[in-house]
Amino acid sequence: MTFSRRKIQKKEAAFKYMDYRVIIIGCGPAGIFTALTLAENGIDGVILFDQGNDLEKRERGAVRDVLCGWGGAGAFSDGKLNISTEVGGYLSEFLDKNALIELLHSTDGIFVKYGAPNRVFGDSAVSVEEIADQARLADLEFIPTVIRHIGTENCKRILNNMRKALDGKVEVRTCSQVQSLLHEEGKIRGVKLTGGQVINSDYVVAAPGRVGASWMKGEADALGLTTMTSPVDIGVRVELPATILKKITDITYEPKLIFYSKTFDDKVRTFCMNPYGEVVIEENEGITTVNGHSYAKRRSDNSNFAILVSSTFTEPFRDPIAYGRYIARLANLLGGGAIIQRLGDLLAGRRSTRDRIEHCLTRPTLLQATPGDLSFVFPYRHLQSIIEMLQALDKLAPGVFSRHTLLYGVEVKFYSNRIEVSSEMETRVKNLFAIGDGAGITRGLLQASASGVLAAQAISSRITGIRPDK
């Protein structure tokens, strides 16, 4: 969808705006795709703010740099683009299936334009159907998704290309934190930066990501916007020899599998599979958790993935994030950080030790985890569900339930409170848009980026008075 530039220029002659037309908060994928789309539509007077560093200054080892700055949480991510209406967010609640598929494909096309590899996984209907059949026999539901894998080392190059494309079209201010949103009579009028500077604008797009979720919730409460709590997903990162999952990962790259645990009927799912990847430590507001990623070219001998158990709480408890953090903190208390345990030790009711890990047939890719006992960390409900899921997976891929399978704990996925928005991503405050993971609308790179495209198209239409050409 593009706007005709000639028509825009005609309209703009009669238009006057304040300091800026559009302020975008957050330079993650959601904010960047908002800016790219506005620039593509010929909209000027756009500024992006991010509290973190510009791309070339971001260092993987620095806690703050991992999630903040140009590229947001996407900068050091694995770069798996899930071209699926079912995965990575809730945009399917705003668009019908065909419109969403079209949006996801065109957003994915922008990643390719800026350098994402051409190859996709999971597009062979016959092989995917075979996996789905085998999964059914193992009591698992297989969610087919087409995936483009960018790879950690390529993310930076693509983000840099996007940054360059915006040079001279959009102003970018890094190391600038937005402290609050300013509004007047139900309409947004700009932002106040930490330090006190006030910047006026006609539109504000808030895309603060997971890292800015508490800030977003505070601003939403101050503006009287409706928010809903999200579930918390708690589990382990599983690591095993890549050969065990090779048949499946060669076809799908990342199989999305869902299981309902026998004992508790809890929803358990696989998440973020990294064939030939590495397990990594993640620091999140003072707690240490685990994650995984893989490079496009550099390969380990192992694959890793998370098994997550979803917990939704009802009255009176409304703080799933605090619950997740509490469990992660318990692992940190016992292990001084993340804990590693062989499945065989867990099942035998004993801790793993350095010695036991050393003669484990799966060689760990993460060396900073402390050998310990995850049964001291997880509630029975979670541990039982994880074990049952591993047993089901073993039927699909024999070898998963081996005593040499490694479990790292804990992996926690906190999701932001969801802010009520329209199908254009506008909140009840006029001209204030809330998008991406920070608004609880999305949970992944592609849908976060697509939510930015949606907001930018709505703003472009209002500024120019022209609906986008199909």
Does residue 377 interact with ligand FAD by CB under 6 A? no
Does residue 275 interact with ligand FAD by CB under 6 A? no
Q: What is the DSSP string of 222-254?
A: HHT--EE---EEEEEEEEEEHHHHHHHHHHHSS
User: Pattern 404-443, binding to ligand FAD, x per CB under 6 A?
Assistant: --------------------------------xxx----x
Gap between the Cα atoms of 403 and 392, Å rounded: 15
Q: What is the DSSP string of 323-338?
A: HHHHHHHHHHHHHSS-
Nearer to ligand FAD, 59 or 358 (CB): 59
The one among 21, 31, 290, 385 contacting ligand FAD by CB under 6 A: 31
Tokens 């909209």 correspond to 43
Does residue 266 interact with ligand FAD by CB under 6 A? no
Least separation in angstroms between residue 325's CB and ligand FAD is 16
Nearer to ligand FAD, 204 or 242 (CB): 204
- Mark 262-281 as b/e (b = at least 16 C-beta within 10 Å): eeeebbbbbbbbbbbbbbbe
Handedness of CA 244, 331, 316, 215 (dihedral sign): negative
- Those residues whose C-beta lies under 8 Å from the C-beta of residue 245, and which sit 6 or more positions away, are 255, 273, 275, 303, 397, 400
Tokens of 67: 């999630």
Does residue 210 interact with ligand FAD by CB under 6 A? yes
Does residue 88 interact with ligand FAD by CB under 6 A? yes
User: Pattern 161-180, binding to ligand FAD, x per CB under 6 A?
Assistant: ----------------xx--
**Whats the size of the chain, residue-wise?**
470
Gap between the Cα atoms of 35 and 295, Å rounded: 28
Which of these, 93, 51, 103, 95, lies nearest to 72 by C-alpha position?
51
Does residue 78 interact with ligand FAD by CB under 6 A? yes
User: Pattern 215-234, binding to ligand FAD, x per CB under 6 A?
Assistant: x-------------------
Q: What is the DSSP letter of 92?
A: G
**Residues numbered 188-207 forming contacts with ligand FAD, rule: CB under 6 A:** 207
Does residue 151 interact with ligand FAD by CB under 6 A? no
Handedness of CA 236, 239, 242, 247 (dihedral sign): negative
Does residue 74 interact with ligand FAD by CB under 6 A? yes
**Residues numbered 120-139 forming contacts with ligand FAD, rule: CB under 6 A:** none
Least separation in angstroms between residue 126's CB and ligand FAD is 26
Nearer to ligand FAD, 77 or 464 (CB): 77
| Residues in contact with ligand FAD by the rule CB under 6 A | 25-31, 49-52, 67-69, 72-74, 77-80, 82, 88, 177-178, 207-212, 215, 291, 293, 436-438, 443-446, 448
